[in-house]
Amino acid sequence: MDPRLLYSLAADAILVVHAAFVLFVILGLALTLVGKPLGWRWVRNPWFRLAHLGAIGFVVLEAWLGTLCPLTVWEMALRERAGDVVYSGSFIAHWLHRLLFYQAPAWVFIAVYTLFGGLVGLSWLWVRPRPLGRKGRPDPR
């Protein structure tokens, strides 16, 4: 098998993982906010909530530091080794432009990520997770 094909397949696999990460961050907040009034107990799961907070915290930190996501760097390195076309900039900026023909300066992404991270933080006040290790009915707060 051609090694370039293997590099290309590996890059595609990272792209899928990256897209799943983005969906987790976006849908995690949406489902948490919808789940509270619907009484979904799993939205108060502390492990889910910590993973979600950590994920958006990582994105916000990357944005403020001006660094690319390691998944983007890894995907682009594999695409380059495969002889594929590589894109410049961040994963989100690239795909927003490809899907919506929308381009924005870096500060817009920093502001959006920071605002979204703030919303995730506020969701901890409105939809409080259960304490770690506690099972059963969540607090009615």
User: Which residue type, as a one-letter code, is found at position 14?
Assistant: I
Domain ranges of the chain: 3-126
Burial of 47 (0-12, 13-18, 19+ CB in 10 A): exposed
Say whether pLDDT at 114 is over 90. yes
Q: What is the pLDDT of residue 60?
A: 96
The predicted pLDDT at position 108 comes to: 87
pLDDT of 134 strictly over 70: no
Cα 62 to Cα 13, 75, 106, 140: the distances in Å are 22, 17, 12, 35
Quote the pLDDT of residue 124. 93
The Cα–Cα gap between 93 and 117 comes to: 18
The model's pTM is: 0.81
pLDDT score for 96 = 66
- What is the average pLDDT value for the chain, to the nearest integer? 87
Q: Which residue has the higher pLDDT, 116 or 91?
A: 116
